[in-house]
Amino acid sequence: MKLFFRKYGEAGPPLIIVHGLYGSGDNWVNIARELAHRFEVYVVDQRNHGQSPHSEVHDYGVMREDLREFMDDQGIDRAVLIGHSMGGKTIMSFAAEWPERVASLISVDIAPKTYSNLALASRKAPNHSGMIDALLALDVQNAESREELDLALRPRIGSSRIRSFLLKNVRRDSSGKFSWRINLEALNNNLDKIFEGIDASNIPVGGITGFPVLFISGAESDYIQPQDHLLIRSLFPVAEIVTLPGAGHWVHAEQPALLVKTIKYFLEN
């Protein structure tokens, strides 16, 4: 699949940013611009998100293939990979299959584990199934404004920040009607696959090595727990793990300056 992308910077080694569930490359433009002074930064839209094509198939096997195809098309042999949430699992899956094509790996607020019961286990964690149900119930085509859609979502999604983030996936078509840019049906049908952990069956004894690895978690997020560190290091033995204060799951929106500082320090040392 040919992924939509944006590019920032004209010099330096390639760096690819892969967004998370319900997101798009748009969410990472400011981060990309901050890194573009030293890297050739590519920000991709994953399948069924943003301006990339839609498909009924949505799992980490095809998403890592999408990333490989993108790198091949751009003539990128090896790159720094940064992935948030679902995007973090995409780059982990890619690294497990093609470690020789990874210069460094940075996973933002996601571990290699299965997350199917996270919303039940933690009040801080998003209820993704509930979110998609709420979005599917919206009558977007007959809405007259984003404010109307936001008001309709409010009873089911209390956070104004999360509602604003989700409604970035609404666009006006040529007739002036609202429509979804995101493929909600495919994501709803594949949530169980999105929540799956990384398949460790092909990972060699001793884990994946050969490049630096950083896992970044938000202090206000429950996505990476202390007990997950053992799993992380069993797959990526050289992994560093840091926690950013004042950030929940959407670290890039809540602590962008600190995230950029952390990424730069890791990549420059």
- 185, 220, 240, 254: the catalytic one is 185
Closest CA relative to residue 126, chosen from 97, 156, 151, 95: 156
Alpha-carbon distances, residue 219 vs 91, 177, 178, 248, 264 (angstroms): 22, 40, 36, 6, 20
CA pseudo-torsion sign 87, 89, 92, 96: negative
Residue whose tokens read 């050289």: 238
171, HSE (Cβ side, Cα atoms, 13 Å): 10
Angle between helices 86-97 and 60-73 (to 10 degrees): 70
185 is catalytic: yes
Asked if residue 203 lies in contact with residue 96, where contact means CB atoms within 8 angstroms, the answer is yes
- 24, 52, 58, 85: the catalytic one is 85
Beta bridge partners of 102: 79
Q: Amino acid identity of 125?
A: A
148 is catalytic: no
107 is catalytic: no
Assigned token pair, 266? 């890791």
Tell me which residues are annotated as active site: 85, 185, 249
